């Protein structure tokens, strides 16, 4: 399922090609690309739930104190290792993620059918969430820079 999400993001969203609105056409295209029907349905449901998060009354999508501390459940810790959780905290500290977008990321991570996520995959989930939440254009651009920026090897100029 994660491969399909990456495929859609790279080929439609990230490349700024208009995403097909017809779910049947999109399913046919993904099938032609070699993805299995069951995985396609899961991926499309995942994306639909991401869109629904913006309009729902989820308890974590309200104003929280920006100085709160997140305690992860056992299931979340199993899926997000220390490196991933540290990266989420780092993104909050540099204000790429807010409390609300962090919770959206965790929600979407927990809905993936992967037993655990590596940091590189988490970065893509974060990018997808930020892209889909209005008003986070600057955070999206910062996250894009963190993913695609190639260090030149120099520590000091």
- How far CA 55 is from CA of 34, 43, 48, 108, in Å, comes to 33, 19, 11, 15
Q: pTM surpassing 0.85?
A: no
Find residue 117's DSSP bridge partners.
80
CB count within 10 Å of CB 108 equals: 20
**Per-residue pLDDT tens digits for 41-96:** 999 889 888 888 877 655 555 555 556 678 999 999 999 999 999 999 999 999 99
Find residue 80's DSSP bridge partners.
117
**Per-residue pLDDT tens digits for 129-138:** 998 888 888 8
CB count within 10 Å of CB 12 equals: 15
Map tokens 């449901």 to a residue.
Answer: 45
Whether the CB-CB separation of 143 and 123 falls below 8 Å is answered with yes
Q: Is the dihedral of CA 34, 35, 38, 41 positive or negative?
A: negative
Instruction: Write b or e for each residue in 20-47: b if 16 or more Cβ atoms lie within 10 A of its Cβ, otherwise e.
Output: eeeeeebbebbeeeebeeebbebbbebb
């Amino acid at each position: 399922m994660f491969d399909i999400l990456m495929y859609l993001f790279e080929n439609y969203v990230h490349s700024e090609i208009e995403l097909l609105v017809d779910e049947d056409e999109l399913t046919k295209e993904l099938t032609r690309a070699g993805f299995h029907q069951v995985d396609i349905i899961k991926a499309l449901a995942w994306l639909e739930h991401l869109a629904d998060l913006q309009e729902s009354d989820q308890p974590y999508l309200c104003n929280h104190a920006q100085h709160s501390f997140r305690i992860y459940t056992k299931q979340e810790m199993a899926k997000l290792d220390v490196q991933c959780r540290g990266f989420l905290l780092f993104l909050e500290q540099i204000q790429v993620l807010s409390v609300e977008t962090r919770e959206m990321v965790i929600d979407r991570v927990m809905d993936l059918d992967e037993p655990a996520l590596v940091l590189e995959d988490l970065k893509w989930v974060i990018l997808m969430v930020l892209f889909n939440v209005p008003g986070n254009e600057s955070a999206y651009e910062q996250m894009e820079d963190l993913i695609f920026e190639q260090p030149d090897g120099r520590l000091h100029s």
